[in-house]
Structure 1
Protein backbone atom coordinates (compact mmCIF):
# COMPACT_ATOMS: atom_id res chain seq x y z
CA UNK A 1 0.00 0.00 0.00
CA UNK A 2 1.21 3.51 -0.78
CA UNK A 3 2.08 6.29 1.64
CA UNK A 4 -0.51 8.76 2.94
CA UNK A 5 -0.02 12.51 3.14
CA UNK A 6 -1.67 15.30 5.11
CA UNK A 7 -1.15 18.97 5.87
CA UNK A 8 -1.29 20.05 9.49
CA UNK A 9 -0.67 22.62 12.19
CA UNK A 10 1.51 21.56 15.11
CA UNK A 11 1.25 22.75 18.70
CA UNK A 12 4.25 24.39 20.35
CA UNK A 13 6.88 22.14 21.99
CA UNK A 14 5.50 22.50 25.55
CA UNK A 15 2.01 21.31 24.52
CA UNK A 16 3.44 18.65 22.23
CA UNK A 17 5.58 17.29 25.09
CA UNK A 18 2.49 16.97 27.33
CA UNK A 19 0.60 15.08 24.63
CA UNK A 20 3.51 12.75 23.89
CA UNK A 21 3.96 12.08 27.64
CA UNK A 22 0.23 11.27 27.97
CA UNK A 23 0.37 8.86 25.03
CA UNK A 24 3.51 7.17 26.37
CA UNK A 25 2.09 6.87 29.90
CA UNK A 26 -0.96 5.07 28.50
CA UNK A 27 0.87 2.92 25.94
CA UNK A 28 -0.76 4.61 22.94
CA UNK A 29 1.03 3.80 19.70
CA UNK A 30 -0.75 4.73 16.49
CA UNK A 31 -0.57 6.94 13.40
CA UNK A 32 -1.06 10.13 15.47
CA UNK A 33 2.34 9.76 17.19
CA UNK A 34 3.38 13.32 16.27
CA UNK A 35 0.74 15.71 17.67
CA UNK A 36 -0.97 17.75 14.97
CA UNK A 37 -4.22 19.34 13.83
CA UNK A 38 -5.01 18.16 10.31
CA UNK A 39 -6.08 21.00 8.01
CA UNK A 40 -6.04 18.94 4.80
CA UNK A 41 -6.39 15.18 4.77
CA UNK A 42 -5.38 12.78 2.03
CA UNK A 43 -7.80 13.72 -0.80
CA UNK A 44 -5.87 15.56 -3.48
CA UNK A 45 -2.54 14.81 -1.80
CA UNK A 46 -1.41 12.15 -4.26
CA UNK A 47 1.92 10.33 -4.40
CA UNK A 48 2.89 12.28 -7.55
CA UNK A 49 3.50 15.23 -5.18
CA UNK A 50 2.39 17.78 -7.82
CA UNK A 51 0.28 19.40 -5.12
CA UNK A 52 3.47 20.46 -3.30
CA UNK A 53 3.98 23.34 -5.73
CA UNK A 54 0.62 24.87 -4.65
CA UNK A 55 1.12 24.70 -0.88
CA UNK A 56 3.75 27.44 -0.37
CA UNK A 57 1.48 30.15 -1.84
CA UNK A 58 -1.41 29.12 0.42
CA UNK A 59 0.87 29.16 3.47
CA UNK A 60 2.32 32.56 2.54
CA UNK A 61 -1.19 34.02 2.12
CA UNK A 62 -2.31 32.72 5.53
CA UNK A 63 -1.43 34.63 8.70
CA UNK A 64 -0.35 32.70 11.82
CA UNK A 65 -3.35 30.83 13.23
CA UNK A 66 -4.59 31.15 16.82
CA UNK A 67 -6.04 27.96 18.28
CA UNK A 68 -7.34 26.73 21.62
CA UNK A 69 -7.38 23.07 22.52
CA UNK A 70 -10.52 22.29 24.52
CA UNK A 71 -11.66 19.50 26.85
CA UNK A 72 -11.10 15.95 25.54
CA UNK A 73 -13.89 14.12 23.73
CA UNK A 74 -14.47 10.87 21.87
CA UNK A 75 -16.00 10.97 18.39
CA UNK A 76 -19.52 9.47 18.48
CA UNK A 77 -18.41 6.63 16.17
CA UNK A 78 -15.58 5.74 18.58
CA UNK A 79 -12.88 6.43 15.99
CA UNK A 80 -10.70 8.60 18.25
CA UNK A 81 -10.13 10.38 21.54
CA UNK A 82 -9.28 13.98 20.73
CA UNK A 83 -8.88 17.55 21.91
CA UNK A 84 -11.22 19.81 19.90
CA UNK A 85 -9.42 22.83 18.48
CA UNK A 86 -11.36 26.08 18.48
CA UNK A 87 -9.79 27.80 15.50
CA UNK A 88 -11.71 29.62 12.77
CA UNK A 89 -8.30 30.25 11.15
CA UNK A 90 -7.67 26.50 10.82
CA UNK A 91 -11.00 26.12 9.02
CA UNK A 92 -10.17 29.06 6.73
CA UNK A 93 -6.80 27.46 5.92
CA UNK A 94 -8.56 24.15 5.22
CA UNK A 95 -10.94 25.89 2.79
CA UNK A 96 -8.05 27.73 1.10
CA UNK A 97 -6.23 24.41 0.63
CA UNK A 98 -9.36 22.81 -0.83
CA UNK A 99 -9.68 25.74 -3.22
CA UNK A 100 -6.02 25.55 -4.28
CA UNK A 101 -5.77 21.76 -4.56
CA UNK A 102 -9.24 21.10 -6.02
CA UNK A 103 -9.27 17.37 -5.15
CA UNK A 104 -11.32 15.20 -7.52
CA UNK A 105 -13.01 13.62 -4.50
CA UNK A 106 -13.46 14.93 -0.98
CA UNK A 107 -14.00 13.21 2.33
CA UNK A 108 -17.39 13.86 3.96
CA UNK A 109 -15.80 15.77 6.82
CA UNK A 110 -14.08 18.25 4.48
CA UNK A 111 -15.51 21.70 3.90
CA UNK A 112 -16.76 24.51 6.13
CA UNK A 113 -18.08 21.99 8.68
CA UNK A 114 -14.56 20.60 9.37
CA UNK A 115 -13.97 19.78 13.05
CA UNK A 116 -10.37 20.82 13.78
CA UNK A 117 -8.95 18.53 16.44
CA UNK A 118 -5.79 17.01 17.84
CA UNK A 119 -6.01 13.22 18.15
CA UNK A 120 -4.80 11.75 21.44
CA UNK A 121 -5.57 8.11 20.58
CA UNK A 122 -7.19 6.28 17.69
CA UNK A 123 -10.04 3.90 18.50
CA UNK A 124 -8.79 0.34 18.11
CA UNK A 125 -9.88 -3.00 19.55
CA UNK A 126 -7.15 -2.95 22.19
CA UNK A 127 -7.70 0.70 23.24
CA UNK A 128 -10.15 1.60 26.01
CA UNK A 129 -11.18 5.09 24.94
CA UNK A 130 -13.50 5.64 27.95
CA UNK A 131 -10.65 5.06 30.39
CA UNK A 132 -8.34 7.23 28.31
CA UNK A 133 -11.01 9.96 28.18
CA UNK A 134 -11.14 10.07 31.98
CA UNK A 135 -7.34 10.25 32.20
CA UNK A 136 -7.16 12.92 29.50
CA UNK A 137 -9.77 14.97 31.37
CA UNK A 138 -7.46 15.04 34.38
CA UNK A 139 -4.35 15.73 32.30
CA UNK A 140 -5.51 18.47 29.92
CA UNK A 141 -7.23 21.46 31.51
CA UNK A 142 -8.70 23.68 28.80
CA UNK A 143 -8.17 25.93 27.18
CA UNK A 144 -4.64 25.29 25.91
CA UNK A 145 -4.05 28.32 23.65
CA UNK A 146 -1.31 28.66 21.06
CA UNK A 147 -0.60 30.24 17.71
CA UNK A 148 0.48 27.99 14.84
CA UNK A 149 3.17 29.59 12.69
CA UNK A 150 3.84 26.79 10.17
CA UNK A 151 1.93 24.56 7.79
CA UNK A 152 3.47 21.08 7.95
CA UNK A 153 3.46 18.29 5.35
CA UNK A 154 3.23 14.96 7.17
CA UNK A 155 3.68 11.52 5.59
CA UNK A 156 2.77 8.02 6.75
CA UNK A 157 4.71 5.25 4.96
CA UNK A 158 1.78 2.81 4.93
CA UNK A 159 -0.54 0.80 7.17
CA UNK A 160 0.70 0.55 10.73
CA UNK A 161 3.01 3.52 10.29
CA UNK A 162 2.86 6.93 11.93
CA UNK A 163 2.60 10.34 10.33
CA UNK A 164 5.93 12.19 10.50
CA UNK A 165 6.81 15.73 9.43
CA UNK A 166 8.56 16.03 6.08
CA UNK A 167 8.56 19.74 5.29
CA UNK A 168 7.01 22.95 6.59
CA UNK A 169 6.21 26.44 5.36
CA UNK A 170 5.92 29.61 7.42
CA UNK A 171 2.41 30.99 7.63
CA UNK A 172 2.25 34.57 6.38
CA UNK A 173 5.88 34.35 5.38
CA UNK A 174 7.85 33.32 2.39
CA UNK A 175 9.60 30.03 2.06
CA UNK A 176 10.19 26.88 3.97
CA UNK A 177 10.55 26.60 7.71
CA UNK A 178 12.22 23.17 7.72
CA UNK A 179 11.30 19.54 8.52
Structure 2
Protein backbone atom coordinates (compact mmCIF):
# COMPACT_ATOMS: atom_id res chain seq x y z
CA UNK A 1 0.00 0.00 0.00
CA UNK A 2 1.24 3.54 -0.61
CA UNK A 3 0.73 6.36 1.80
CA UNK A 4 0.81 10.05 0.85
CA UNK A 5 3.33 12.22 2.69
CA UNK A 6 3.33 15.99 3.21
CA UNK A 7 5.20 16.72 -0.03
CA UNK A 8 2.67 14.71 -2.06
CA UNK A 9 5.11 11.83 -2.50
CA UNK A 10 3.99 8.29 -1.71
CA UNK A 11 5.75 5.80 0.50
CA UNK A 12 5.14 2.11 0.97
CA UNK A 13 3.09 0.76 3.84
CA UNK A 14 2.30 -2.86 4.62
CA UNK A 15 -1.17 -3.56 6.04
CA UNK A 16 -2.88 -6.74 7.14
CA UNK A 17 -6.51 -7.63 7.94
CA UNK A 18 -7.49 -6.76 11.53
CA UNK A 19 -8.06 -10.31 12.74
CA UNK A 20 -6.21 -12.75 10.54
CA UNK A 21 -7.26 -15.79 12.61
CA UNK A 22 -10.98 -15.35 11.86
CA UNK A 23 -10.58 -15.06 8.11
CA UNK A 24 -9.62 -17.36 5.29
CA UNK A 25 -7.06 -14.83 4.12
CA UNK A 26 -5.27 -14.93 0.80
CA UNK A 27 -2.40 -12.47 0.72
CA UNK A 28 -0.99 -10.46 -2.14
CA UNK A 29 1.31 -7.45 -2.26
CA UNK A 30 -0.05 -4.33 -3.92
CA UNK A 31 0.40 -0.60 -4.29
CA UNK A 32 -2.66 1.57 -3.78
CA UNK A 33 -3.02 4.64 -6.00
CA UNK A 34 -3.61 8.16 -4.66
CA UNK A 35 -7.15 8.83 -3.40
CA UNK A 36 -8.28 10.73 -6.51
CA UNK A 37 -7.46 7.69 -8.68
CA UNK A 38 -9.03 5.29 -6.19
CA UNK A 39 -12.27 7.29 -6.26
CA UNK A 40 -12.40 7.11 -10.07
CA UNK A 41 -11.74 3.37 -10.07
CA UNK A 42 -14.40 2.75 -7.41
CA UNK A 43 -16.90 4.82 -9.40
CA UNK A 44 -16.07 2.78 -12.52
CA UNK A 45 -16.53 -0.50 -10.60
CA UNK A 46 -19.88 0.71 -9.24
CA UNK A 47 -21.29 0.98 -12.77
CA UNK A 48 -22.18 -2.73 -12.49
CA UNK A 49 -24.65 -3.52 -9.71
CA UNK A 50 -23.47 -7.14 -9.49
CA UNK A 51 -19.86 -6.08 -8.85
CA UNK A 52 -18.87 -6.69 -5.22
CA UNK A 53 -15.16 -6.06 -5.75
CA UNK A 54 -15.19 -2.83 -3.73
CA UNK A 55 -16.36 -4.89 -0.73
CA UNK A 56 -13.43 -7.29 -1.08
CA UNK A 57 -10.36 -5.29 -2.07
CA UNK A 58 -9.46 -1.66 -2.61
CA UNK A 59 -8.11 -0.51 -5.98
CA UNK A 60 -4.45 -1.49 -6.26
CA UNK A 61 -1.54 -2.39 -8.49
CA UNK A 62 -0.58 -6.00 -7.90
CA UNK A 63 3.14 -6.35 -7.27
CA UNK A 64 3.10 -9.98 -6.10
CA UNK A 65 0.19 -12.37 -6.53
CA UNK A 66 -0.90 -14.82 -3.84
CA UNK A 67 1.49 -17.71 -4.50
CA UNK A 68 4.00 -18.22 -1.68
CA UNK A 69 2.47 -15.69 0.71
CA UNK A 70 1.50 -18.03 3.51
CA UNK A 71 -0.56 -17.49 6.67
CA UNK A 72 2.50 -17.90 8.90
CA UNK A 73 3.67 -14.47 7.63
CA UNK A 74 7.33 -15.51 7.56
CA UNK A 75 7.68 -13.37 4.42
CA UNK A 76 6.28 -10.16 5.93
CA UNK A 77 9.49 -8.77 7.41
CA UNK A 78 11.27 -9.17 4.07
CA UNK A 79 8.45 -7.26 2.37
CA UNK A 80 8.69 -4.44 4.92
CA UNK A 81 12.46 -4.24 4.50
CA UNK A 82 12.26 -4.25 0.70
CA UNK A 83 9.62 -1.50 0.73
CA UNK A 84 11.65 0.65 3.11
CA UNK A 85 14.69 0.42 0.79
CA UNK A 86 12.79 1.15 -2.42
CA UNK A 87 13.04 4.80 -3.50
CA UNK A 88 9.90 6.61 -4.64
CA UNK A 89 9.02 6.19 -8.30
CA UNK A 90 6.46 7.38 -10.79
CA UNK A 91 4.21 5.27 -12.94
CA UNK A 92 1.56 5.78 -15.57
CA UNK A 93 -1.77 4.04 -15.94
CA UNK A 94 -2.58 3.05 -19.49
CA UNK A 95 -5.10 1.09 -21.52
CA UNK A 96 -7.64 -1.27 -19.91
CA UNK A 97 -6.96 -4.97 -20.43
CA UNK A 98 -8.54 -8.14 -19.04
CA UNK A 99 -8.03 -11.71 -17.90
CA UNK A 100 -10.87 -13.37 -19.79
CA UNK A 101 -14.30 -12.15 -18.66
CA UNK A 102 -13.55 -12.08 -14.94
CA UNK A 103 -10.91 -9.37 -14.39
CA UNK A 104 -10.47 -5.97 -16.01
CA UNK A 105 -7.43 -3.89 -15.13
CA UNK A 106 -5.52 -0.81 -16.18
CA UNK A 107 -2.05 -1.40 -17.57
CA UNK A 108 0.83 0.09 -15.59
CA UNK A 109 3.81 1.60 -17.33
CA UNK A 110 6.98 1.56 -15.23
CA UNK A 111 9.91 -0.77 -14.75
CA UNK A 112 9.99 -0.03 -11.01
CA UNK A 113 7.07 -2.33 -10.16
CA UNK A 114 8.98 -5.18 -11.78
CA UNK A 115 12.08 -4.27 -9.73
CA UNK A 116 9.96 -4.20 -6.58
CA UNK A 117 8.56 -7.65 -7.38
More strand by share: 1
Query: SS at the partner of 1:72?
Result: strand
2:108 maps to which of 78, 85, 96: 85
2:89 maps to which of 65, 71, 77: 65
When normalised by structure 2's length, the TM-score is 0.70
When normalised by structure 1's length, the TM-score is 0.47
Gaps of 5+ in 1: 95-179
| 2:46 aligned with 1:24 | yes
Tell me which stretches of 4 or more aligned residues in structure 1 moved more than 3 Å: none
Call closer, same or farther: CA 1:11–1:44 in 2, change over 3 Å: same
Gaps of 5+ in 2: 1-22
* Aligned-residue RMSD, C-alpha: 1.9
Distance (Å, rounded) in 1 between the aligned partners of 2:106 and 2:56 = 13
- Pairs aligned (count): 93
Query: SS at the partner of 1:82?
Result: strand
